[in-house]
Amino acid sequence: MVALESILKQVDERQDEMIDLLKTLISFETPAPPARNTKKAQDFIAAELEKFGFSIDQWDVYPNDPNVVGLLRGSERANYKSLIINGHVDVAEVAEDEQWEVDPFTPIVRDGVVIGRGAADMKGGLAGALFAIKLLSEAGVTLKGDLIFQSVIGEEVGEAGTLQCCKRGSTADFAVVVDTSDLHIQGQGGVITGWVTVKSKQTHHDATRKNMIHAGGNLYAASAIEKMMKLIQGLQELERHWAVTKSYPGFPPGANTINPAVIEGGRHAAFIADECRLWITVHFYPNETHEQVAKEIEEHLLKVAESDVWLRENPPSFQWGGTSMIEDRGEIFPSLEIDPENLGVQLLANKHQEVTGQQAIVDVSPTVTDGGWLGEAGIPTVIYGPGNLLNAHSVNEQVPIKQLIEYTKTLMLFVYEWTNERKETK
């Protein structure tokens, strides 16, 4: 512990190095969309990890968008606990008309903050984690358990680089997603997108509308757009029902929403609309799964359809999730429920209090991260990182240097103590 006290002091003494590291990460232009632009940043991170003794697994998830997983093998890895540090290297898109002080990828330091796209979400977290590892490595500190560093792509557009890490076999006894949490220790709800489609078996000329809506017309047909309106009303009713009947500690009432985000329908003005597609975004609670909420929506809308004479014969179809908002216009973010009694959660909370002098806040994020994929893989996981959501995705995005320093110290202590914790014997 004496050695660690000396290393902790270096975080303060060498904070300019940490800030320069963050500025370097920000300078890599990795907005998603358009994505397919992270290779240079990932090559840099891989090279840094190699300096610290990590073996590197790097592969393309999409062209020019590789994942990087570094493994630092513990000296007694069979008997001591392993840890994943996870973060995404892509950042939110930047619109041409946004009024930044300077170029978003030319970071500046002013008034105790670092400003640049990704400072809060989440290159600040990546920089602090890398710097903590750097200082431990330079001090010759040996970890007994494995340390795995996952730098992933695609989080901003639902491309789930973290899921690909899990599928590749990357696992550990605990994981920290170093995403934007304002140094709260967090779980999260989940998100799934879906397409609801109403489709007619037949097409009809615009001139036949009178035959399908007036007495004696004798044409059993309908506009798919108009029938979708009934289903939208049904979604609103289900959304209100959820707000009344479902809740979760830390979320305001009605946080579980069904958003009709995009509607597409019809061919052109000379046709009755024979197809209509509705793109919805569903937010659900940490104790729910995306399969569960998708099933609830399908069952409800099929009952709505049963009450309509035309929809009864032309029921809606459903397509859920997706691997990319860019590639297939869909995404899934599984929920993440954390156990405050978990030893990893308690140790991280203790280290946070030791560094900051403040009791750790254990709550839930109002947004989503890749953490749900790690939790779904059976890895106890928390979100813990610098920066806040008011700055994430914002113009002149920024992270406080003081918070970045506290985060780096906390993570350093946690990495050391967790990987020097014996595994439970069965």
**Residues designated catalytic:** 90, 155
Q: How far apart are CA 41 and CA 45, in angstroms?
A: 6
Judge contact between 268 and 258, C-beta under 8 A. no
CB atoms within 10 A of CB 50: 12
Which helix (H) or strand (E) segment holds residue 237: the answer is: helix 224-245
Residue 341 in tokens: 């009694």
| 100 phi/psi in degrees, rounded to 5 | -80, 150
Residue 50 in tokens: 């190699």
| Bridge pairing between strands 113-115 and 398-400 | antiparallel
**Max Cα distance, the chain (Å):** 91
Say whether 290 sits in a helix, a strand or coil.
helix
* Residues in contact with 113: Cβ distance below 8 Å, sequence separation at least 6, in sequence order: 119, 398, 399, 400, 401
